[in-house]
């Protein structure tokens, strides 16, 4: 049975793609047939391949996954529902998107699915990313940038997920290039306030190989859960 993880952010630009890429590389380096998928991506230039999807597909050694049939792409750098309101084609029904994801995963042993922005990003008027997590029956990895402001956004995301019957497998505080004073206490505060939640830090590393080595430690911890 496939191990399926959904990587969501507490916000946009928190390091989801870098972390997902590193986890794919770490898993494959350890002999796990893992792939990374970006089934929803907006802000795609006209006629160009989706950039985050390309990064994950290359890490998976499966370039075709970047433009897999049935995945949703939009030009406008907006939530899918926002792109729809701007006149772009509406995303497929969630059940159809889940079917496309399952086809892309066929024969693999691990799938790392990167969402679009935060857990409550509107997919449509009726649905959010949280609905996709539930339909996929995926383990949720919540990524937060380790900077000022992350405490409220992370606690809000955890509470919103819990309200929908989802408990994150882990929260990963992703270090940023220019850290601030809050990074000294963010992890400890979250551990104090969320004592039953597994919380990890992921060091900032501009080099891909270094990120992979950090991801190996995180992956081992997750697989041991």
If we measure between CA atoms, which residue out of 93, 82, 136, 87 comes closest to residue 114?
Answer: 136
In terms of Cβ atoms closer than 10 Å to its own Cβ (0-12, 13-18, 19+), residue 55 is buried
Distance in angstroms (rounded) separating the CA atoms of residues 160 and 152: 12
Beta bridge partners of 34: 110
H/E stretch holding 99 reads: helix 94-105
SS percent in the chain: helix, strand, coil, step 5? 45, 20, 40
The reply to whether 38 belongs to the active site is: yes
Q: How many CB atoms lie within 10 A of CB 2?
A: 15
Q: Which of 16, 38, 75, 212 is catalytic?
A: 38
Alpha carbon distance, N-terminus to C-terminus of the chain: 17
Between CA 2 and CA 8, with CA 6 as vertex, the angle to 5 degrees is 170
If we measure between CA atoms, which residue out of 16, 132, 5 comes closest to residue 71?
Answer: 132
Contact 49, 56 (CB under 8 A): no
Strand, helix or coil at 207? coil
Task: Please give the positions annotated as active site.
Answer: 38
């Amino acid at each position: 049975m496939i191990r399926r993880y959904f990587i969501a952010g507490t916000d946009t630009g928190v390091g989801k793609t870098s972390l997902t890429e590193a986890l794919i590389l770490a898993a494959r380096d350890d002999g796990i047939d893992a792939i990374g998928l970006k089934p929803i991506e907006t802000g795609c230039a006209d006629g160009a391949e989706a950039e985050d999807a390309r990064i994950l597909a290359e890490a998976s050694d499966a370039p075709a996954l970047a433009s897999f049939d049935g995945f949703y792409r939009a030009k406008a750098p907006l939530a899918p529902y926002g792109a729809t309101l701007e006149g772009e084609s509406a995303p497929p029904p969630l059940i159809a998107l889940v079917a496309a994801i399952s086809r892309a995963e066929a024969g693999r042993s691990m799938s790392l699915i990167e969402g679009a922005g935060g857990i409550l990003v509107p997919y449509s008027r009726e649905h959010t990313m949280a609905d996709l997590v539930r339909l996929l029956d995926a383990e949720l990895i919540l990524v937060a940038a380790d900077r000022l402001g992350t405490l409220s956004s992370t606690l809000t995301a955890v509470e919103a997920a819990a309200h929908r019957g989802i408990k994150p497998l882990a929260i990963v505080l992703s270090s940023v290039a220019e850290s601030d004073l809050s990074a000294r206490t963010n992890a400890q505060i979250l551990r104090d306030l969320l004592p039953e939640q597994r919380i990890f830090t992921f060091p900032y590393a501009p080099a891909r190989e270094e990120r992979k080595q950090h991801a190996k430690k995180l992956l081992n911890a997750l697989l041991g859960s």
